[in-house]
Amino acid sequence: MNLDSIRDEALRMAEPQFKKFKPIALHNTKKVLEAFKECQLSDYHFNGSSGYGYNDSGREKLDEVFAHVFKAEKALVRAHFVSGTHALATTLIALLGSGKQGKEFVYAVGAPYDTMQSVIGVPHPVRNSLVERGFIYKEVPLKDNTYDLDGIVAAVNESTRVVVIQRSRGYSTREPLSVLDIEKICKAVKAKNPKTICFVDNCYGEFTETTEPLEHGADIMAGSLIKNAGGGIAPTGGYVAGKETLVEDVAYELTAPGLGDHMGSYSPGYRLFFQGLFLAPHVVLQALKGAVYTAAVGTLLGYEVFPKVDSDRFDLIQAINLNNADEMEQFCRGMQAYSPVDAHVRPVPGDMPGYTDQIIMAGGTFVQGSSIELSADGPVRAPYTIFMQGGLVFEHSMLGILGSAEEILANRKA
């Protein structure tokens, strides 16, 4: 097939999925709008603060709005989280360090994302990691490429303080979890040990369904503001939401005991965070459309894709198994050429903090590292899987993935 045929056929293949996404986006847009109205957001909440940040009404209102959207008792939304990994690590450290019950934690759905492996200290020792601090780590292997409920229950005991549930696939080809999957896991964990905290890594999952993990039994969740919840507008940061006492513990870990969420200034102001959240349901719709279209193009090029074109979607990530490292470079090179920023740059594999393998990525984004903007990346290791995500507008996602296809086809002819 030539590129024009691939473009048109992929669009035809993806169209039935597009129709399924629209009601979800409408529902979630209404939900966010109602939160803004209920919390009585005004333009003075956009103003920043300085110094200690006492009585920062914008910061307090942002927490309130996020809590309302995610049906949380409390939320902690901060530019001071440098990444999603930082939000997750801060939460996990706070949960393990608080309370008297157990210092053991369980990852319920296979191996965690690469950067969280560094936080934990597996499979290789890492200075100041959780394992080095004396916490006990367990990992429940996947069964048939999905979560093993019996295995999760068997891993939980009276010493299990936290069960971590990673919603998205991360750098793997397993299926992401739906909120109903999360509900099953939470119910099973609580039946075994009611005191165990169910903590959801919600990265890449926000607004892909009409409800969120806290509505399905999770105690606390965390994510990044340069992914779904920031709508491609938020310039930095992360969030934590859930039960009040647990979120308070996280706030104490982020700042200091006795300070918590009462301090922390941000002088640029909060408009972009509010505006990003408002746009998030629509931007997630655009990204989901881009992911399905990418699956269709990958299928037409003869690659194995995860998920398939017609699969249900519970996160933004589209994985494509390429044949070798050269094709990973070709894919990223083609997408980078259709980026609004650094289109002239040639992606090559390189070392990155928190990763054990070299990483290659295409990411000509307005916000550095943003993965709600069109981007693709992956560790350069067999089976040479590239992970594509994001796309603020579907038309750009089309152009980007077709750029990747064009580069691959050109090299096949060479």
Among 25-29, 167-171, 192-196, 237-241, the minimum mean pLDDT is found in 167-171
Are 269 and 287 found together in one domain?
no
The whole-number pLDDT of residue 354 equals 75
127 vs 114: CA distance, rounded Å: 16
171 vs 371: CA distance, rounded Å: 14
Q: What is the mean pLDDT of residues 376-385?
A: 95
- Is residue 32 a part of any domain in this protein? no
Does residue 138 have a pLDDT over 70?
Answer: yes
pTM of the model: 0.97
Closest to 187 in 3D by CA, of 138, 153, 164: 153
Does residue 387 have a pLDDT over 90?
Answer: yes
In the DSSP assignment, the letter for residue 319 is E
Tracing tokens 């999360």 back to the chain, one arrives at 182
Are 86 and 59 found together in one domain?
yes
Are 291 and 182 found together in one domain?
no
Closest to 339 in 3D by CA, of 318, 361, 359, 322: 361
- Is residue 297 a part of any domain in this protein? yes
Are 252 and 151 found together in one domain?
yes
263 vs 135: CA distance, rounded Å: 29
243 vs 175: CA distance, rounded Å: 27
Q: How many CB atoms lie within 10 A of CB 395?
A: 12
Are 289 and 272 found together in one domain?
no
Residue 193 three-state SS: coil
Are 101 and 150 found together in one domain?
yes
- Is residue 89 a part of any domain in this protein? yes
Task: State pLDDT tens for residues 340-372.
Answer: 999 999 999 999 887 889 999 999 999 999 999
CATH code, domain carrying 85 = 3.40.640.10
- Is residue 39 a part of any domain in this protein? no
- Is residue 42 a part of any domain in this protein? no
Task: State pLDDT tens for residues 194-215.
Answer: 999 999 999 999 999 999 999 9
111 vs 104: CA distance, rounded Å: 16
Mean pLDDT over each residue of the chain, to the nearest integer: 97
37 vs 100: CA distance, rounded Å: 40
Share of the chain above pLDDT 90, in %: 94
Residue 99 identity: G
Tracing tokens 């440098």 back to the chain, one arrives at 82
Are 383 and 248 found together in one domain?
no
Are 23 and 55 found together in one domain?
no
How many helices and strands, by DSSP H and E, does the chain display? 10, 12
Domain end, chosen from 276, 297, 315, is at: 276
Does residue 25 have a pLDDT over 70?
Answer: yes
- CB 362, CB 375: distance < 8 Å: yes
Does residue 156 have a pLDDT over 90?
Answer: yes
Tracing tokens 């035809």 back to the chain, one arrives at 12
CATH code, domain carrying 19 = 3.90.1150.60
Give strand pairing partners of 75.
241
- Is residue 38 a part of any domain in this protein? no
373 vs 231: CA distance, rounded Å: 9
pLDDT class for 413, splitting at 50, 70, 90?
confident
Domain count, the chain: 2
Angle at 112 between CA 111 and CA 113, to 5 degrees: 125
Are 112 and 223 found together in one domain?
yes
Domain end, chosen from 213, 243, 276, is at: 276
Domain end, chosen from 276, 306, 328, is at: 276
Query: In 3-state terms, the chain is what percent helix, strand and coil (to 5)?
Result: 45, 15, 45
pLDDT class for 112, splitting at 50, 70, 90?
very high
Task: State pLDDT tens for residues 276-288.
Answer: 999 999 999 999 9
Tokens encoding 328: 């990973």
Q: Please, what sign has the CA dihedral across residues 279, 280, 285, 287?
A: positive
Q: Could you tell me the residue range of the domain that residue 307 belongs to?
A: 3-27+277-413
Are 235 and 271 found together in one domain?
yes
